[in-house]
Amino acid sequence: MTEDPVAAARRQIAALGPVGWGGRALADADIDALLRAAPPAAIEAGAVLSREGEPADRAFFLVAGRLRASVSLGDQRAERDRTVNEIAAGEVTGEAALFLTGGRRTATLTAIEPSTVLVLRRDLFLPGAPNPAVVALQSHILAGLARRIERTDAQIVEAWRAAAGGTPSRGGLLALLGVTA
């Protein structure tokens, strides 16, 4: 049986805590406040959440299901698009929309199974709105980005040293895109 979207959202948000100096668990009221600001949305399998090249004005916290991120490789190529990442429940994707301005989507996001997301908008994250659940979500995003930067750096260096002045493979570049996109 599919989990109720609100219950799934509550469970994933609660799993982000604890936060703050005292390391306290998130209170129900904190979770409720986040859910009011970013209500859970059910997405059918196959539905597209955002398309590559569109203006980026929101991010998605996937609380249930699975998403696919794909990029177009151009019309002239035999392989026109390529899956570069799969997003699992508990992950945030499209976060550049929250912290940069004027950006565009670098990948198309498609649900590959029935999914539930919280749609996150920039104003939720501006300083001055100290909801501990939002703090926990920000910390979760921050840790994920820091890990991606470290991993990307390590992979580029590995490719750089392997190539040692030669040309890195196209497969190597696609693998890198899977980390950064």
Partner 1 sequence: MTAPDLARHAQRLLAAHALADADPAPLAGLLARCAERKVATGQFLFQEGDPAGEIVFLLEGRVSVMKKDPEGADRQIGAWFAPAVVGGAAAVEGARRSASCVAGAPSLVAALPAADARELLGDPGPAGGELRFILLAAFTEALANTTQHLRDLLTGDQSTPAPDLERLLALLHGAKR
Residue carrying structure tokens 């939002």: 134
Q: Which stretch binds partner 1 (CB under 8 A): 5-13, 34-42, 108-116, 137-145?
A: 137-145
CA distance 36 to 40: 9
For residue 54, the SS3 value is coil
Q: Which stretch binds partner 1 (CB under 8 A): 1-9, 42-50, 113-121, 160-168?
A: 160-168
Exactly one of 21, 36, 88, 123 binds partner 1 (CB under 8 A); that residue is 21
Q: Do the beta carbons of residue 81 and residue 98 sit within 8 Å?
A: no
Nearer of residues 36 and 170 to partner 1, judged by Cβ:
170
How many beta carbons lie within 10 A of that of residue 61, not counting itself? Answer: 26
Q: How far is the CB of 111 from partner 1 (least distance, A)?
A: 22
Q: In the numeric block, which tokens belong to residue 87?
A: 């997003």
Q: How far is the CB of 27 from partner 1 (least distance, A)?
A: 12
The amino acid that residue 42 corresponds to is A
Residue carrying structure tokens 């399998």: 45
Residue 155: in which H helix or E strand, if any?
helix 132-163
Q: Kindly state whether residue 80 participates in binding partner 1, applying the rule CB under 8 A.
A: no
CA distance 142 to 46: 29
Exactly one of 33, 37, 73, 119 binds partner 1 (CB under 8 A); that residue is 73
Q: Which residues contact partner 1 by CB under 8 A?
A: 19-21, 23, 71-74, 76, 95-96, 98-101, 103, 106, 125-132, 135, 138-139, 141-143, 145-150, 152-154, 156-157, 159-161, 163-168, 170, 173-174, 176-177, 180-181
